[in-house]
Amino acid sequence: MIKLEAQPDEIYDIELEHSLLEANEKLARQNRALLDEHGTTAIDFMGAIGSGKTTLITKLVEKLKNQCGVAVFNGDATTSEDADQIEKLGVPVVQIATINGCHLDANLVGKGLRKIDISKAKFIFIENIGNLICPAEFPLGSKARVVVVSVTEGPWMVRKHPHMFLGAQIVVINKIDLADAMGVSVEALINDVHTLKPDITVIPTSCKNGTGVDAVAQTLLAI
Ligand code: MG
Ligand code: ZN
Q: Which ligand is nearest to the CA of 49?
A: 1
Residue 107 Cα to ligand 2 middle (Å):
14
Residue 56 Cα to ligand 1 middle (Å):
9
Residue-wise pLDDT tens digits, 200-218: 999 999 999 999 999 999 9
Q: Which ligand is nearest to the CA of 135?
A: 2
> Rounded mean pLDDT of 71-79?
90
Contact by Cβ (8 Å): 171, 195: no
pLDDT on residue 220: 98
Whole-prediction pTM = 0.93
Which residues span the domain enclosing 88? 2-221
Q: Which ligand is nearest to the CA of 81?
A: 1
Contact by Cβ (8 Å): 146, 171: yes
Q: How many domains does the chain have?
A: 1
Residue 82 Cα to ligand 1 middle (Å):
5
Length of the chain: 223
Return the exposure string of 175-190: e unless at least 16 CB atoms fall within 10 Å of the residue's CB, then b. bbeebeeeebeeeebb
Q: Which ligand is nearest to the CA of 132?
A: 2
Q: Which ligand is nearest to the CA of 74?
A: 1
Q: Does the pLDDT value for residue 100 go beyond 90? A: no
Range with lowest mean pLDDT among 22-36, 47-61, 91-105: 91-105
The pLDDT-based confidence of 17 (bands split at 50, 70, 90) is confident
Q: Which ligand is nearest to the CA of 130?
A: 1
pLDDT on residue 185: 98
pLDDT over 70, % of the chain:
94
With 0-12 CB in 10 A as exposed, 13-18 as middle and 19+ as buried, what is 37?
A: exposed
Contact by Cβ (8 Å): 110, 139: no
Contact by Cβ (8 Å): 118, 143: no
Residue 88 Cα to ligand 1 middle (Å):
15
Residue 82 Cα to ligand 2 middle (Å):
19
Contact by Cβ (8 Å): 208, 55: yes
Residue 138 Cα to ligand 2 middle (Å):
8
Residue 11 Cα to ligand 1 middle (Å):
31
Range with lowest mean pLDDT among 4-18, 73-87, 90-104, 133-147: 4-18
The overall average pLDDT reported for the chain is: 93
Helices (H), the chain: 14-37, 53-64, 81-87, 106-113, 157-160, 162-166, 179-182, 186-196, 213-221
Residue-wise pLDDT tens digits, 114-139: 999 999 999 999 999 999 999 999 99
pLDDT on residue 103: 93
β-bridge pairing 123-127 and 41-47: parallel
CATH at 111: 3.40.50.300
> Rounded mean pLDDT of 57-86?
94
Residue-wise pLDDT tens digits, 154-197: 999 999 999 999 999 999 999 999 999 999 999 999 999 999 99
